[in-house]
Amino acid sequence: MTTDISEKYGKELDETIAIISSPGKGLLAADESTGTIGDRFKSINVENVEKNRQQYRQLLFGVAKESSKYIGGVILYEETLFQKDDNGVDFTKILRDAGIVPGIKVDLGQKVIPGTKNELRTQGLTDLDKRIAKYYKQGARFAKWRASYDVTKDLPSDLAIEEQSIQLARYAAICQVNGLVPIVEPEVLVVEGDHDAKRSYEVTHKVLAATFYYLHKHNVNLSRIILKPNMILAGKKNKDKSSTQKVAEDTLKVLRDTVPTSVPAILFLSGGQTEDESAENLNAMNASSTKKPWYLSFSYGRALQESCLKTWLGKSENVKKAQEVYLQKAKNCYLAALGKLK
């Protein structure tokens, strides 16, 4: 019998998952890298400096008590994990005091896999255990690692799928041994390109099957992970768009065919969908009579923040209104996770 590698922190890992997956709750992905948040700020003419990044995250976490009705955890970037609000209080303390679990993005970006058509492999395994010890001490209780896959007629390659799946499995094992719940994020870039929904389904099926094959091979306890997959959508350049009902049906089918029932929670990424689309598609899945052995909810970044950012515009006088907008989007996602969005 294989030893349970998550046993040392088992109770704590279970408690973290229970908080994150409380009925209707999901994750706010506020883990944009310095470059990515810079792109967001550029769209609203805000300078990408640490003070502005801190002020924006303070806007979001300043309503932690109110958002805790809808948000179970927040994924943070390393800079944000160690930042404080204007009163000198750690962001992690603000979140924890509100009943929200802080988490941390631990991957270090991507590099091209030699011998492929510029396919990418995620970096960051070297000394990951040492970084996790630092993050755990600061209050993080879960982690996120993103592996992405291009979709074309002949991509992703078998090599890219294998490489990324192995990396995801090693990351998940290191997390469980060191006290963090691993969010496993194999993102098939379904929105990019001109492929149809059928091709998205085929690739997602293949990627998820490989992901769980290697998680099992690396002795990862599947009952103590959270899966963060894409939904099944046609590429944005394809003229045939799936209805909300079809997205729900295709996505539930690929999950039933590939994801073990021992996985407790599946929190979808929004993956280029609008705020409304991401909530409506999630709602359709949860409103479906199809049997769902896992908790289905959200782990959204832009789909929770886009309207908030456009309302804020980097101006202090807009903070309250921007917070109201963020809370409304969070409530919509909460209702969608319950299948009760009108």
Model confidence over 287-307: pLDDT tens digits?
A: 999 999 999 999 999 999 999
* Active-site position among 32, 78, 185, 275: 185
Q: Which of these is catalytic: 25, 228, 275, 329? A: 228
Please state, in angstroms and rounded to a whole number, the distance separating the CA atoms of residues 293 and 42: 42
Residue ranges of domains in the chain: 7-337
Q: Where are the beta strands (DSSP E) in 37-172?
A: 71-76, 101-105, 110-112, 120-122, 142-149
User: Who contacts 326 (Cβ-Cβ below 8 Å, separation ≥6)?
Assistant: 59, 60, 63, 67, 304, 305, 307, 308
**Annotation marks residue 306 as catalytic:** no
In the structure, what pLDDT confidence band is assigned to residue 317 with cuts at 50, 70 and 90? very high
Helix (H) or strand (E) run with residue 176 in it: helix 158-177
pTM of the full predicted structure?
Answer: 0.97
**pLDDT tens digits, 24-42:** 999 999 999 999 999 999 9
Q: What CA–CA distance (Å, rounded) separates 174 from 158?
A: 24
- Topology (CATH level 3) of domain 7-337: TIM Barrel (3.20.20)
The pLDDT score that the predictor gives to residue 219 is 97
pLDDT in tens, 49-96: 999 999 999 999 999 999 999 999 999 999 999 999 999 999 999 999
The answer on pLDDT for 311 being more than 70 is yes
Residue 1 has a pLDDT of 52
Residue 185 appears among annotated catalytic residues: yes
The pLDDT of residue 2 is above 80: no
- Encoded tokens for 299: 């782990």
